[in-house]
Amino acid sequence: MSDNPFILEPYKSKELFCDRETETQDILRYLENGRNITLISPRRLGKTGLIYRVYDEICDRKLPFETFYMDISSTQSVDDFIRILSESVVTVLNHQTRISDFFKKIGGIRPVLSYDSITGKPEITLSYRDEQERNLTLKTILSYLESNKKTVVLAIDEFQQIREYDGVNMEALLRTYIQPLHNVRFIFCGSKKHTMIDMFSNARKPFYESTTFLPLGKLDINVYADFITELFARSGKTIDRELVLKVIDWTRDHTFYTQTLCNEIYSRCGAVVTAQDLTDSIQKILSSNQDRFLELQRLLTPAQWKLLKAIAKEGYVLHPTSAAFISRHKLTSGPSVLKNLNSLIEKELIMAETESPGTRYSVYNIFLSRYLEKTG
């Protein structure tokens, strides 16, 4: 077991998780008041971690909820969705009689349960005669949760993925089955802001106004700085405030990148963290990512790569099609910049954030941004 306190997984314990107190309390209050929640943030900011933080709090305070979590990022179809859902149910039931009871309820389709020999995670195989039987299975699993003694919280992570299912309106199907439930609260979680907002605030879509929005922002810089200082101190290491602020600034306070840099610094520093430790850690991170970035360059057109680099060099860009920006970086023309910009946004290489003066663009992956900044 590693003793590095800067975790690179969504959640380990409250002590190693920075803040999110307001969000945790808000989510609990919504759940206690019968509301479903839509949790949105850019990738790698801490949505999944926050869900686990809330679940931990529910457990600590012995709140009357039973919590379930499913990540549907790898699903391509309703079949996959049902499989992941039933595996997440079985993971929580974790008791032979409860699992048998669950299987009895969905028994018509003869589920087969096995356990992964390495991870020990349950794996379920389901087979249906037809679409009707499949839909009925989904309905039955949700009804099973509805009949649970305690109120169920079901978090569906990467929810926007249901739009990728071929030949089925999964939103409509799910909404039909979810609407009558009173004993199940949903946390719909996703990083594709446009899709998520369209799903939950477009009057023509099935989930219209069915949830409370919770947009997750970056951590407060001072709170995060205190947290980082404290984690070093707990292991008997000292770090200057100025250095901590540099770490947060270099990683633009984007949690995953900040945690990774802190993890690297911690792994190489002595009792006092020095400016050289920071420089070496940055160097190490950039060089260990270099092959990946070069591979990415091969996958993009030269014009896309040039635009990505131009945005990285400026950090944040408000008017990427302006004459000034185009001439500063020797790009071709407004329309071609716009086309490449859209395609980089689509590939999640550029992040578009709508803020008060307008939309601002930046390179999504902070390490890539810092790498490109330095290239000629």
Ligand X SMILES: Nc1ncnc2c1ncn2[C@@H]1O[C@H](COP(=O)(O)OP(=O)(O)OP(=O)(O)O)[C@@H](O)[C@H]1O
Asked whether position 63 contacts ligand X by CB under 6 A, the answer is no
Selected range binding Mg ion among 39-47, 123-131, 318-326, 366-374, rule: CB under 5 A = 39-47
Asked whether position 186 contacts ligand X by CB under 6 A, the answer is no
Residue nearest to Mg ion (CB): 48
Neighbouring C-beta atoms of residue 153, cutoff 10 Å? 25
Cα(227)–Cα(17) distance, integer angstroms:
9
| Cβ proximity to ligand X, 4 vs 77, nearer residue | 4
Cα(122)–Cα(83) distance, integer angstroms:
10
| Cβ proximity to ligand X, 15 vs 166, nearer residue | 15
Asked whether position 232 contacts ligand X by CB under 6 A, the answer is no
| Cβ proximity to ligand X, 19 vs 87, nearer residue | 19
Asked whether position 67 contacts Mg ion by CB under 5 A, the answer is no
Amino acid symbol at 174: L
Cβ 367 vs Cβ 257: under 8 Å? yes
Q: Choose which of 36, 48, 211, 340 interacts with Mg ion (CB under 5 A).
A: 48
Selected range binding Mg ion among 43-51, 100-108, 287-295, 309-317, rule: CB under 5 A = 43-51
Q: According to CB under 6 A, which residues from 3 to 42 bind ligand X?
A: 7-10, 17-20, 41
| Cβ proximity to ligand X, 12 vs 360, nearer residue | 12
CB of 41 to ligand X, least distance (A): 5
- Give rounded-to-5 percent helix, strand, coil for the chain: 55, 15, 30
Q: Which of Mg ion, ligand X, none is residue 20 near (CB under 5 to 8 Å by kind)?
A: ligand X
Cα(99)–Cα(89) distance, integer angstroms:
9
Asked whether position 160 contacts Mg ion by CB under 5 A, the answer is no
Asked whether position 46 contacts ligand X by CB under 6 A, the answer is yes
DSSP 139-208: HHHHHHHHT-SSEEEEEEETGGGGGG-TTS-HHHHHHHHHTT-SSEEEEEEES-HHHHHHHHH-TTSTTT
Asked whether position 111 contacts ligand X by CB under 6 A, the answer is no
Q: What is the dihedral of CA 313, 318, 319, 320, to 10 degrees?
A: 40
Q: Choose which of 67, 75, 211, 255 interacts with ligand X (CB under 6 A).
A: 255
